[in-house]
Structure 1
Amino acid sequence: MKRARLIYNPTSGKELIKKRLPYILERLEDAGYEASVHATKGPGCAKHAAETAVKQRYDLVIAAGGDGTIFEVVNGLAEKEYRPRLGLIPSGTTNDFARALEIPRNVKAACDIIVNGFSRELDIGKADDKYFVNIAAGGALSEVTYEVPSKLKTVLGSLAYYFRGIRKLPFMTPMNAHIEYDGHVYDGDIVLFLVCNTNSVGGFERLASKSKLDDGQFDLIIIEKMILPKLLGLGIQTLSGKHLKHAKIKYLKANSISISVERDVKLNLDGEYGGMLKGEFKNLKRHLEIYVPRTDNKHFSERLC
């Protein structure tokens, strides 16, 4: 019998997964899995649980929670020679990675995708000794996702990020950056850089609209120094995808990226604090096999037959 390990955050989404555990386990067992559960207890717990699942040679690992839970589970799987297939049951605030894969927040629909058994090999990013599936970013605005209190996210959802971001705008200071990407070089004063592995960042689904999930390429977005009113206007343009035509935006594709800046910068990895900036980013093409809907998602490089 196949074995599945469900790793879930018991506090995510108003305890949504905890309430639906009997249903999820029943669906897995009906699909032929011997299923077991691990509830996370704090930072690093989901990563450790995923590493244990690898050692015990589980066929399937399911990350149930928000982007932070998925980030930890991926870090527990990514560097191993044997990597179980990954399933997702999103229940976080923004669910950027699940949103890019078109996996709904509805538990029944997410379970349907897993038990239907259709999967794709997807890219992940490597930043020094850490891995990410969605984004690596640096700059004042990139700190918003891990600075917002969890209780505020529960009450306001994605709006909590927007409110905190608006408060930070007047205090943003530019940083001089040297960026090398696939043999090319960029030098200049910037306020933010985004190394995107998917199209959805912070709930903005059009931020990296040209992104592909399996092409071995990052979408590198560089936001150059600009005055506050223009920065506010840029935020509005992001909602419609018009920001890509902005004169102060550089939108580039690359497999390997090196970034150095003139001052200490905190690194954001999939919405989590990733330590201080270590500027080597490598795209690992089709590194993890993940259950996804059987649809022609425009962010895959190959269409279904």
Structure 2
Amino acid sequence: MKNARVIYNPTSGREQLKKHLPYILDRLEQAGYVASAHQTKKEGCAKDAAFEAGKNGYDLVIAAGGDGTIFEVINGLAELEKRPRLGLIPAGTTNDLARAFHMNELDIEEICDVLTGAHVSPLDVGKAGDQYFVNIAAGGSLTELTYDTPSRLKTMLGQMAYYVKGFEKLFFLKPRQARVEYDGKLFEGEIMLFLIANSNSVGGFEKLSPEARLDDGLFDLLLLKKTNLPDFVRIGSLALTGQHIHEDKVVYIQANRIKLEIEGEMQLNLDGEHGGTIPKEFVNLHHHFEMLVPEQEEK
């Protein structure tokens, strides 16, 4: 018999996951799994639960919640030699990984069709020091929005909460001197922020790293050079359509390995969570996981 573990955040998705849980477990049982669930209670809980499930030989581990839950599950499983398949039930504010696979558009019945199906896609993950990420590593004032925005505000306003907090930060943007090594090449200069993207969905925006793929073994590195506030706003508006990558103030390249140093202290954002501080080296781990996806997304 196959074993499946659902690791769910009860507060995600306006607390709808708890309501759907009996249906989810029943669908998994019907598909031949011995299914069980773990409710997260505090920070780090999903990581520990994923590690235990992987260590105990579970065939499928399902992250049910927002990007923070997925981040913890990835970190709980990434260092295991034998890793279970990943499943996803998106129920967060932005759902970047789900957006990349077009799963954010599915209802719970369709999500369960995916989880009980056999269509898989290889999934790259990034390693930053001793932590792992699946969507984005970033630094700069605006990239702190995901962990600076209160959970209650996100619950009430959804993605609009990030716009509210972002407007507050616009007037405090400052350039930093940076040294960036990538696949044997070098950039040195002042930057406003950096994004190291693994997927094309970043904070709910699907054009910030328009060429990014989750299975190509490469990061999409975006550096915004020193600029003034009007230009920053203009470039930000171009990012809605992906045209920002053609601007002189933007460096946009692909690389497998990136080493980043910043003058002064800068916080690192990994998939919306605190990732420590720069300097850091980032390595793309090609096809590190297999993930259940909708049929049209099978690679």
**Both proteins in one fold, TM over 0.5:** yes
Residues in 1 aligned to 2:111 and 2:279: alpha-carbon distance in whole angstroms: 35
State the alpha-carbon separation in 2 of the partners of residues 94 and 107 from structure 1: 17
Match of 2:49 in 1: 49
Q: Distance in 1 between matches of 2:229 and 2:74?
A: 37
Shift in Å at residue 13 of structure 1? 1.0
Cα RMSD of the aligned pairs, angstroms, is 1.0
Aligned 1:148-297 pairs, distance under 5 A: 148-296=149-297
Q: Distance in 2 between matches of 1:57 and 1:277?
A: 35
Deviation at 1:111, TM superposition (A): 1.2
Instruction: For residue 106 of structure 1, report the CA deviation from its aligned partner.
Output: 2.3
**Alpha-carbon distance between aligned partners in 2 of 1:278 and 1:209, rounded to the nearest angstrom:** 26
Distance 1:243 1:146, change over 3 A: same
4+ runs deviating over 6 angstroms: none
Give the drift of 1:296.
4.9
Equivalent position of 1:301 in the other structure: none
Match of 2:134 in 1: 133
**1:26-47 residue CA offsets vs partner (Å, 9 max, x unmatched):** 1100110000010000100000
Match in the other structure for 1:71: 71
Aligned mates of 1:225, 1:278 — CA distance in 2: 19
**Equivalent residues of 1:217, 1:254 under 8 A apart:** yes
Matched positions, count: 298
Cα distance in 2, alignment partners of residues 134 and 195 from structure 1: 9
Q: Structure 1: any 5+ residue segments left out of the alignment?
A: 298-303
Q: CA deviation at 1:241?
A: 1.2
Following the alignment from structure 2 to structure 1, what is the Cα–Cα distance between the partners of residues 286 and 18? 34
User: 2: CA distance between counterparts of 1:267 and 1:107?
Assistant: 33
> Which range is displaced more, 114-123 or 58-67?
114-123
Q: Note the alpha carbon deviations across 1:24-67, whole angstroms, 9 max, x for none.
A: 01110011000001000010000000010012110000000000
Name the SS for the 1:70 alignment partner: helix
| CA contact 1:128–1:278 (8 Å) conserved in 2 | no
For the pair 1:37 / 2:37, whether they are aligned, the reply is yes
Residue type of the alignment partner of 1:94: T
State whether residues 191 and 225 of structure 2, in contact with CA within 8 Å, keep that contact through their aligned partners in structure 1.
yes
Contact 1:197 1:212 in 2 (8 A): yes
- Does the 8 Å CA contact 1:127/1:278 hold for their aligned counterparts? no
* 1:278, distance to aligned residue in structure 2 (A): 3.6
Paired AA for residue 73 in structure 1:
V
- State the distance in 1 between where 2:215 and 2:139 align: 24
Task: Give 1:300's aligned residue.
Answer: none
Residue-by-residue CA offset, 1:217-255 (whole Å, 9 max, x unaligned): 000000111100111111111111111111111101000
Name the SS for the 1:243 alignment partner. Answer: helix
Structure 2 CA distance for aligned equivalents of residues 143 and 113 of structure 1: 33
Q: Secondary structure in 2 aligned to 1:14?
A: helix
The answer as to 2:108 corresponding to 1:91 is no
Is the partner of 2:7 in helix, strand or coil?
strand
TM-score for the superposition, normalised by structure 2:
0.98
